[in-house]
Amino acid sequence: MKNWFLAMVLLLVVGALAACGSSESSAKISPDSKEIKLGATAGPYSDMLKKAIVPGLEEKGYKVKIVEFSDYIQPNKALDNGDIQANLFQHSIYLENFAKENNMKLSALISVPTAPMGIYSNKYNSLAEVKDGATVTLPNDPTNAARALNTLRDEGLITINKSANQLKVSEKDIVENKKNLKFQPIEAGQLPRSVDSIDLAAVPGNFALAAKMNLLDALALENMLDPYRNIVAVKTENKDSKLAKDIKAVIESDDFEKVIDDQFKGFGKPDWMKK
């Protein structure tokens, strides 16, 4: 009887704890709560949350905690399971692919100013000085390689087949290479260091900033296509929630743009901000 009684007590305690855990979990993911968590990778987009977005949300009555991540996997997992209510670190192409591959229902809410890719050099002061046969390091992943080639095209160094998909441009789409540039694909994280030893380096903005490079030191900055601009992401089911509408309102405000102009120099603005 004693063992039976102890077993029943243990069962009741476990059940009570489980009920409490369930209650906390459901409260944690409520889109109507004024206590929210926003995620970002450490660096400029965490700073953008702190300086340009959170103050506006606090004025609307929210209590906001920022959760920083060190990789590009965990922010979407945390969003999907309700640990955070929105994140800012990725562009829509990455979000769509990640959500599809991981069977998640996540959606882009609004695009924000984004650090552009730049063409950097310690050997030349302008692209007009680039000599025939110069070597260019560029990202070895298809998405960022396309961005690099599009930037070189915009600066008149190469010509790309007009029928090519701008989001998927590769070296095979080059129809004219005026200075016989040689392309050397490497890991994006190694691109900032390559500036010291190579003629030209196409460095994505987030890696440039992480390496303490000044965006405005680039010989040319990318004319970024909107699909490459970072977005605030939310769970699809919460896309029309009060929180989602308030986040959009803050980002579309004059105060947000003023902070961007003052503290995020060189960041390219999305098309909706230029209208």
H helical segments located in the chain: 2-28, 44-48, 54-59, 74-80, 92-101, 142-154, 191-194, 205-210, 242-251, 254-263, 271-274
Which sequence spans correspond to the domains of the chain? Answer: 33-114+227-274, 118-223
- Give the span between the Cα atoms of 249 and 166, in whole angstroms: 31
Per-residue pLDDT of the chain (275 residues; tens, 9 = 90+): 445 444 444 444 444 444 443 333 334 546 568 999 999 998 999 999 999 999 999 999 999 999 999 899 999 999 999 999 999 999 999 999 999 999 999 999 999 999 999 999 999 999 999 999 999 999 999 999 999 999 999 999 999 999 999 999 999 999 999 999 999 999 998 999 999 999 999 999 989 998 999 999 999 999 999 999 999 999 999 999 999 999 999 999 999 999 999 999 999 999 999 87
Q: Which amino acid is at 122?
A: N
Quick one: 176 exposed, middle or buried, by C-beta within 10 A (0-12, 13-18, 19+)?
Answer: exposed
Q: In 3D, which of 204, 184, 233, 251 has the Cα closest to residue 43?
A: 204
Taking the C-alpha atoms of residue 191 and residue 185, their distance in angstroms, rounded to an integer, is 9
Specify the CATH superfamily of domain 33-114+227-274: Periplasmic binding protein-like II (3.40.190.10)
Q: Assign a CATH topology to domain 118-223.
A: D-Maltodextrin-Binding Protein; domain 2 (3.40.190)
